[in-house]
Structure 1
């Protein structure tokens, strides 16, 4: 077999056995991508292994603190020229990138599966989301960034408006679970806004980010505007925080809080997407078979390692037995596998720590009386990090997974009779990232959605409706985060608003010959009249 380099079209004849997976990108191709990372001159590379096999995939250079700070300095110089380009020119780069992603999707599908352990359909979710993000900002960013007219304090006499300036150099810390899509959602709008970006993807899935970085260069992104550094947060995290003009982080709530404290001392901005314990509510009029099929996707896509995955299902008692039977049957029918193709319904967990966390949650629930309806065990016969999709019931409040995020293929079913009680229980969590509602009535589903304390709520879908609608903001309430990605908000957060007003003719303070009291009365009358006039 041969592989094709996306940016050059050059073929390699090296056998595709990297990570011990036939059909994966070659070891030479993985090394080629790894070389796009910055630094690593003064430290040993880190070897990454494939979740499917545990065999090596790439050796990644690890930057030092000094190297990261130097990269920021260089990016700051490149940013000035990039910001000086018209927004329409910048967005054309993203539009070309979106087209290239779809054209070269086979290689990135293999890469995502290789380093994240996903089923191929879950990997395609990343490809489609990335192309949609590139296309959205490739179409709309110039409009969002354009000057905005505002009615002045005195009509005609006061011309007022708002313009947007890029923040400067944005630091992006990306997680391992959605290496392509979350890179795009955070990096591309920052670039469209005229910023430079210094990104630190997780080592485990860095090749996907480096692949997109390569394709962005082919799309016309100037060298030096988007830089990628690799390393552990304990070693280069301070440099990322201290050098960034804005910090974007996706990861755990404790780490997010720690970063927020550090950023606060510098009075620079940040956005955080953090943990979740996402609920799903099944109303008594819900189409049970569709709700059960939707729950399988909502709970077990990417082996449950998705920030918006459902981990709690509340089902009305009138349909609980029927739903549970259908859901368990559909879960048991999921095929686990390692094929670089569309044959498997669920892939592997991505790292050993996650396997340990999932195992501990399920073992704790079992020991405290929970009933495991299906799953509940690791599958080393398939690969070192496989765990069966697991459905539990009879989960009590003293069980760890009752409140703690599992971040794996594990879900608990609870019954309810009163809708108000179900909503209260769904909201009874420190998190508020995503939620799902299933009903035979769109209006009833919408009404319940408005009462849930979550940044995104999907009716008759698990997460994909909001996740794929790039024009909608996405983010968490409560301890699930601060700020939003996607939509207009996801672009403008990377800018500073500047207000400009030009005063003509009429003064906003009285002339010396006019007593202050008379002026105040005249202005009071004017303000009252303006309150009745249509404002632009």
Structure 2
């Protein structure tokens, strides 16, 4: 195992090498793995493949650092986090370009905003302490509720928003007094490794470590007795494995899992004006987001006109390399997901469902590009309706009765998000209240904030992120009862 000296990189370029961040040091690894640019399908970098021993070292360092970090005053940890946000901001352009290169999303419309929101999130979370709550105070008795740190938090992060979804976990965990070890997705490890490297110049040794590697590291992290909590974002099936592994030590677990979110466009909706919001709600990030619109229910009275207008809008959006400033939609991130989305297209065609846009992949084109595909009124039991596609395919489904649309929306093992659209806001809100989801939007989509709890019902997750509820899940509620 070798360590390297920290060095300041140019603000807009970073070509590596990439290192693990462990115990305040940047460490090389014996082995590495390929990182592919999804716009070209070619390897453009090597990421360090951390060993079980290196992950163990990171956990030990985090456990050691916890004692001093948790003992700091809140204001002291706040200063550290704000300094970290300042340092990330200096490398903002570099991180955004790296994100586009490894993830594929358009630079100016998605990668740069992701990095900007991540930096802002750190500052906002740092400004929100969890106060001591007085539960009872009399002349002779005082009861206080404190929220104390848990210890070492293990984070396992996904490939669709690798910067944002990781720093969403880092900020509340660290400000509460915990330390953290992150295992990023092997499909998009570089931006996480990079912000881990940047952290080592700002944060005390061991407070934040990043160890990239294969899937074998996940069970070691989730089952480790010195990990107090796991925060996982990913698929529902993987989430089940995480939960089983964590059960052995009864550690706390937050799971943000898959979704099959529905949008219901009510009969009174001004549907033409909302088509851009609905389109990007479904196709943004090439459809690769857990709260993306996966099912779009429209009333029969305007179904035909809606489909035509939706397709017309979709045709205006350019598919291509995210570094091209004219591109609005990038590739699917990896070959595994590319093949999965292709299987949906094969199923749609095999079952004679009506494709009104897209559907055909240019196999001669390098990279993992799938054109925006619109499926017109597939049956309710179709795979594209029942399962999460996580790609740029959207089924537009006809309904006649709002009650039926609500029932069909709720008839799913998932319950992450949803949206309702209509001129009569009161009526739309009444529908929204009845959807079995962790969050629901009315006449808007994907509005998120540090004070808005984010989580799912059913098999879409366990626990929440954000808001007081999410921040408190990085703490232990400790009741202190005092006889005066």
TM bin, normalised by shorter chain, reads over 0.9
Between stretches 129-138 and 37-46, larger displacement belongs to 37-46
The whole-number CA distance in structure 1 between the counterparts of 2:285 and 2:458 is: 25
The CA deviation at 1:319 is: 2.2
The CA deviation at 1:471 is: 0.9
Superposed CA deviations along residues 34-61 of structure 1, whole A, max 9, x for unmatched, are: 3547898774211211111122222112
Decide whether the 8 Å contact of 1:377 with 1:388 is kept in 2.
Answer: yes
Decide whether the 8 Å contact of 1:34 with 1:59 is kept in 2.
Answer: no
Between stretches 452-461 and 232-241, larger displacement belongs to 232-241
Question: What's the counterpart of residue 209 of structure 2?
Answer: 227
Question: What's the counterpart of residue 434 of structure 1?
Answer: 417
The CA deviation at 1:321 is: 2.0
1:175 maps to 2:175: no
Question: What's the counterpart of residue 212 of structure 1?
Answer: 195
1:384 maps to 2:367: yes
Question: What's the counterpart of residue 287 of structure 1?
Answer: 270
Question: What's the counterpart of residue 401 of structure 1?
Answer: 384
Larger helix share, 1 or 2: 1
Please, what TM-score do these two structures have when normalized by structure 2?
0.93
The CA deviation at 1:499 is: 0.7
Question: What's the counterpart of residue 58 of structure 2?
Answer: 71
1:113 maps to 2:100: yes
Q: 1:500 to 1:11 in 2, by over 3 A?
A: closer
Superposed CA deviations along residues 440-496 of structure 1, whole A, max 9, x for unmatched, are: 233333222111111111222232x1x3x2210111110000011112222211111
Over aligned residues, Cα RMSD in angstroms? 2.1
2:44 to 46, 52, 57: 57
The whole-number CA distance in structure 1 between the counterparts of 2:227 and 2:9 is: 37
1:472 to 452, 463, 484: 452
Question: What's the counterpart of residue 30 of structure 1?
Answer: 16
Decide whether the 8 Å contact of 2:150 with 2:228 is kept in 1.
Answer: yes
Q: Counterpart of 2:479 in 1: which secondary structure?
A: strand
Decide whether the 8 Å contact of 2:20 with 2:211 is kept in 1.
Answer: no
Decide whether the 8 Å contact of 1:40 with 1:64 is kept in 2.
Answer: no
The CA deviation at 1:402 is: 2.0
Question: What's the counterpart of residue 425 of structure 1?
Answer: 408
Decide whether the 8 Å contact of 1:379 with 1:385 is kept in 2.
Answer: no
1:500 maps to 2:483: no
Question: What's the counterpart of residue 313 of structure 1?
Answer: 296
Decide whether the 8 Å contact of 2:270 with 2:423 is kept in 1.
Answer: yes
Decide whether the 8 Å contact of 1:91 with 1:137 is kept in 2.
Answer: no
- Which segments of 5 or more consecutive residues in structure 2 lack a partner in the other structure? 1-5
Larger strand share, 1 or 2: 2
The whole-number CA distance in structure 2 between the counterparts of 1:177 and 1:92 is: 30
Question: What's the counterpart of residue 136 of structure 2?
Answer: 151
The whole-number CA distance in structure 1 between the counterparts of 2:228 and 2:79 is: 25
Question: What's the counterpart of residue 34 of structure 2?
Answer: 47
Q: Counterpart of 1:501 in 2: which secondary structure?
A: strand
- Which segments of 5 or more consecutive residues in structure 1 lack a partner in the other structure? 1-6, 13-23, 505-536
Q: 1:53 to 1:377 in 2, by over 3 A?
A: same
The CA deviation at 1:235 is: 4.4
1:124 maps to 2:112: yes
The whole-number CA distance in structure 1 between the counterparts of 2:352 and 2:310 is: 21
Q: 1:56 to 1:488 in 2, by over 3 A?
A: same
Question: What's the counterpart of residue 325 of structure 1?
Answer: 308
Q: Counterpart of 1:233 in 2: which secondary structure?
A: coil
The whole-number CA distance in structure 1 between the counterparts of 2:45 and 2:21 is: 13
Between stretches 176-185 and 65-74, larger displacement belongs to 65-74
Question: What's the counterpart of residue 86 of structure 1?
Answer: 73
Question: What's the counterpart of residue 490 of structure 1?
Answer: 470
Please, what TM-score do these two structures have when normalized by structure 1?
0.84
Question: What's the counterpart of residue 329 of structure 2?
Answer: 346
The whole-number CA distance in structure 2 between the counterparts of 1:221 and 1:42 is: 22
The whole-number CA distance in structure 2 between the counterparts of 1:125 and 1:424 is: 36
1:182-193 superposed matches below 5 A: 182-193=165-176
Q: Give the length in aligned residue pairs.
A: 475
Decide whether the 8 Å contact of 1:337 with 1:382 is kept in 2.
Answer: no
Decide whether the 8 Å contact of 1:79 with 1:169 is kept in 2.
Answer: yes
1:7-22 superposed matches below 5 A: 10-11=9-10
Q: 1:306 to 1:285 in 2, by over 3 A?
A: same
Superposed CA deviations along residues 30-88 of structure 1, whole A, max 9, x for unmatched, are: 21x43547898774211211111122222112122232122211111111111111112
The whole-number CA distance in structure 2 between the counterparts of 1:138 and 1:91 is: 5
Q: Counterpart of 2:243 in 1: which secondary structure?
A: helix
Question: What's the counterpart of residue 220 of structure 2?
Answer: 238
